[in-house]
A and B are shown apart, each in its own frame.
Chain A
Amino acid sequence: MSAFTIARIDLKRLAVRPFAWTLAGIALAMMAWQFLLGVSAFMHAQPTVPGATGGAGFTDNVIAPYLLNYVQLCLVIAPLVTMQALAGERGAQRLALLAAAGANATRIVLGKFLARLVFLWLLLIVVATLPLVLAPATHLDWGQFGAALIASALCVAALVAIGTACSAFTPEPALAAAAALLIGEALSLIDAGVRLTGGDTGWLGWLALHTHLAPALRGLVRSEDIVYFLIVIVLALALAVRRVDGDRERG
């Protein structure tokens, strides 16, 4: 049995839950509103932008902040989507059912992670197609758009991994959501104070999500940013696997 089988079951369950659809509906409505606001601000700024062809364009002014908004929204959505992943399942003995069917802790955690990641990536795809409807009428920077999309996808994956890990460590889904929200916000705001004062953020800056997202939103994909997101994902999932594996000993 592979992690994909578990992911498939969980995706099917997500697809029939009103909670997931409600969450997706609210997220898309908010993103559509953000997009309209962005386009409106861009249109109003048009006459005052000197040398419009050479300055910051549609991608910089509308798409990059728009995708950043989605990532910020995921700071809240990811904990809500992942809170039930392992916390609720353990109490209902559904993790035991998977274990009895021969799934080890790695496959269980990976399957749960993949299902939720696919859900939020599908949302990201829908969110990303909104600005594309204006592509024929604007000078879209496809490179910058692609870089921003990759970084957003990786950042969302990191948030889902953190949520999955929090869900593994507590039996209460609400507690898991609160912990994931706190960690996500902490990683997002850890260097905010130093950034506001304009000082050197140092290692605090390296820990912050924003540090690794901002270059990609400007069109620059750096290997150190990709490595950062991969480290967060692997670390969170490894902790979750360790915890689920320990359930066999703890009972």
Chain B
Amino acid sequence: MPSQPSVKPVSTPPLLELDHVSRRLGGREVLCELSFTLQRGEVLGLLGANGAGKSTTLAIIAGILQPSSGSVSVHGRAATEVGQHIGWVPENVPLWPELTVTEALDACGRLRGLVRETRKSAIARELSRLDLGDFAHRLCGQLSLGQQRRVGLAQALLHEPDLLVLDEPGNGLDPVQAAQLRGLIGKLAPGHGIILSSHDLAEVEAMCSRVVILHEGQVRCDTPLADIRGKLDAQFRAIANTQASAAA
């Protein structure tokens, strides 16, 4: 009996990979050698104090900022080349206040190069998924913060990206809206890779399966949520000790 040729397992690249990403701004190192990966189906929370580099990291992943060194790849290709796989919602959702929700989504669809029929069905899908039907013909400038966030999410989801990048998604939301957001992210998680930033541990605990803690532009902890408690205590103690000795 002929021996079976050994089959080498084909390794698929992670959905998102940051490889030693650094960013310097005006001589100051905002991010320092960040490396982590994200797989489809994972929800990764970026935790850190204000100024830790969360928003900068997310903007680099979304291709808005350029890293000073290192690389960001999505499906193994440079993130700047595969914008169609990324949906980005910044902290202050950029909307066109003069346009209605439908017009704004249509404009986003055009920007993404969706053809007319695809655009129409994608708008209908997102209006229904994000419960925006009642506001479809309201001007974006007249929406509440929670509604604006939902429109931002709809804009980001319109082209069905694999990777969702959400910067402080729960900021400014009331408890009901925050619960709705958690439910939505839970629904989206199986088909996407989601990376979100927050400085609220409870919010991250409610939504994420893995946590990366940033401190002064460096990864201090990268761990599944289940392991977080013990590590967090140690991490925060270490950071507190560092700050205390620096102050002394």
Give chain A's interface residues, CB within 8 Å of chain B. 1, 5-6, 8-9, 12-13, 16-17, 92-94, 96-103, 248-251
Contacts and interface: CB of A to CB of B under 8 A. Distances in A.
Interface of B: 23, 25, 56, 59, 62-66, 83-84, 86, 88, 90, 92, 94, 96, 98-99, 103, 107-108, 110-113, 155
A99 B111 contact: no
B107 A9 contact: yes
Contacts of B111: 1, 5-6, 9, 98, 101-103
A17 B64 contact: no
Q: Which 9 A-B pairs have the closest CB atoms?
A: A101-B111, A93-B94, A97-B94, A102-B83, A94-B94, A13-B98, A9-B107, A100-B88, A16-B98
Given A13-B99, A249-B66, A100 B92 contact: no
B94 to A, nearest CB: 4
B92 A93 contact: yes
Contacts of B110: 1, 5, 8-9
A97 B167 CA distance: 13
Contacts, number: 67
Contact of B83 (A9, A92, A101, A250): A101
With most chain B CB atoms within 10 A of its CB, the pick from A1, A6, A100, A102 is A100
A6 B107 CA distance: 9
With most chain A CB atoms within 10 A of its CB, the pick from B23, B64, B90 is B64
A100 B94 CA distance: 11
Contacts of B63: 99-100
Nearest to B100: A16
A13 B96 contact: yes
Contacts of B23: 251
Contacts of A250: 25
Contacts of A13: 96, 98-99
Given A1-B111, A94-B96, 10 more contacts: A9-B107, A12-B99, A92-B92, A93-B92, A97-B155, A100-B63, A101-B108, A102-B84, A248-B65, A249-B66
A5 B114 CA distance: 12
B66 A101 contact: no
A218 to B, nearest CB: 42
Given A13-B98, A13-B99, A101-B83, A1 B62 contact: no
Contacts of A102: 83-84, 111-113
A94 B90 CA distance: 10
Contact of A93 (B25, B90, B98): B90
A191 to B, nearest CB: 41
A109 to B, nearest CB: 15
Nearest to A89: B94
Nearest to B55: A251
9 contacts: A1-B110, A5-B110, A97-B108, A99-B63, A100-B83, A101-B83, A101-B111, A251-B23, A251-B59
B159 to A, nearest CB: 9
Contacts of B62: 100
A160 to B, nearest CB: 20
Nearest to A14: B98
A17 B141 CA distance: 12
Contact of A9 (B56, B59, B96): B96
A8 B108 CA distance: 12
Nearest to B113: A1
B197 to A, nearest CB: 15
A97 B94 CA distance: 7
